[in-house]
Copies of this chain bind each other. A is one copy, B any other.
Amino acid sequence: MAAPPEARPALHLPARDIPIPTSVSPEAQAAMAMAPLPEPERPAPGDRDGWRAMIAAQDAAIAGMMAERAAGAPVVTTERDVGAHVYEITPMDLAEGDRRVYLDIHGGAFVFGAGDCCRVMSIGTAARYGARVWSVDYRMPPDHPFPAGLDDCLAAYRALLSDHDPSEIIVGGASAGGNLAAALILRARDEGLPLPAAAVLMTPGVDLTASGDSLRTNLGLDPLLPEASTPTFAMYAGERDLTDPYVSPLFGDFAPGFPPTILTTGTRDRLLSDTVRMHRALRRAGIPADLHVTEAAGHGGFFGTAPEDHEIERELRRFAESHWP
């Protein structure tokens, strides 16, 4: 096949075996030795029934895995309708008058993680920060492409602002949730709303054009993001151009204002490139931004099982506590 005229020469890498490194904890090595979960077959993009069924099965599996841990958690969960469906998770030992709130935007490739899945994941977030969490159960494809999900996140942020000082609010998310958290802040700012105290962007998918180098260099090394994981980008964007900053916040302009941000990723993360480019974009705009990269970790870290994961959780909490009142 003739290369198109603009194609750059490719680097050819021979086949090779990559050992599990001894540079990580035994727990991380054990996580790396596990076979990756079987990847469910993706329906054709237009097959809505197929997507609904596949998403429901995946979400049930994830919620099931996490339900036991969540069941015993000392929190009170309430549901709110604030123009979007929100779970409010309140730690039982929260001091009276503690007004800090973490606006949690769940991950899941823009299609997974709704409903009960969202609820149980946010219980973990509340424990991590020792703070109240609002978790947005935002609308998603196949039925609700952009901007429905972002609209829901914005509705939740507006609702929080109605009875919180913005300095009491931290906005965060992982993966697709990192995308939505960043896009929410850009759009809130553009609409004249005040900025939150800080942002937490964990291995955020902020470039839906998929130009990041690590999508290719870390393919096969990242156990959580196989080759078939990006088609949901187009399902999410719908009619919107993939370079629109509300769809791909990496391409936003941060100079007019963005809160202090912490970003996390791993050296085997296929979104390593998205994360480090987002960090650089913020730094170029003069925004305080801290980057933390875990040795040999993929998109899901070591699935919460390793000391490396807990170390990053402590960084996140320290960061949050230094920005909350």
**Interface residues of A, Cβ cutoff 8 Å to B:** 7-24, 29, 32-33, 207, 211-214, 216-221, 267-268, 272-273, 276-277, 279-280, 283-284, 290-296, 311, 315
Within the complex, which residue of B10, B12, B220, B280 is in contact with A295, where a contact is CB–CB below 8 Å?
B280
27 contacts between A and B (CB under 8 A): A9-B20, A9-B33, A10-B19, A11-B221, A13-B13, A13-B15, A13-B16, A13-B17, A14-B15, A14-B220, A15-B15, A21-B216, A21-B273, A22-B211, A23-B207, A24-B213, A217-B268, A273-B296, A276-B294, A280-B295, A283-B292, A283-B311, A283-B315, A284-B311, A290-B291, A291-B292, A291-B293
**How many identical subunits does the complex contain?**
2
Q: In the bound complex, do residue A15 and residue B12 qualify as a contact, i.e. CB atoms below 8 Å apart?
A: yes
Q: In the bound complex, do residue A10 and residue B15 qualify as a contact, i.e. CB atoms below 8 Å apart?
A: no
In the assembled complex, the Cα of A83 lies from the Cα of B267 at a distance in Å of: 41
Q: In the bound complex, do residue B17 and residue A213 qualify as a contact, i.e. CB atoms below 8 Å apart?
A: no
Q: In the bound complex, do residue B8 and residue A20 qualify as a contact, i.e. CB atoms below 8 Å apart?
A: yes
Q: In the bound complex, do residue A20 and residue B12 qualify as a contact, i.e. CB atoms below 8 Å apart?
A: no
In the assembled complex, the Cα of A235 lies from the Cα of B11 at a distance in Å of: 31
Within the complex, which residue of B11, B213, B214, B296 is in contact with A220, where a contact is CB–CB below 8 Å?
B11
Within the complex, which residue of B29, B213, B315 is in contact with A296, where a contact is CB–CB below 8 Å?
B213
- Chain B residue contacts of A294, Cβ below 8 A: 276, 280
- Chain B residue contacts of A23, Cβ below 8 A: 207, 211-213, 273, 277
In the assembled complex, the Cα of A11 lies from the Cα of B311 at a distance in Å of: 26
In the assembled complex, the Cα of A20 lies from the Cα of B9 at a distance in Å of: 7
In the assembled complex, the Cα of A24 lies from the Cα of B213 at a distance in Å of: 9
- Chain B residue contacts of A293, Cβ below 8 A: 272, 276, 279, 291, 293
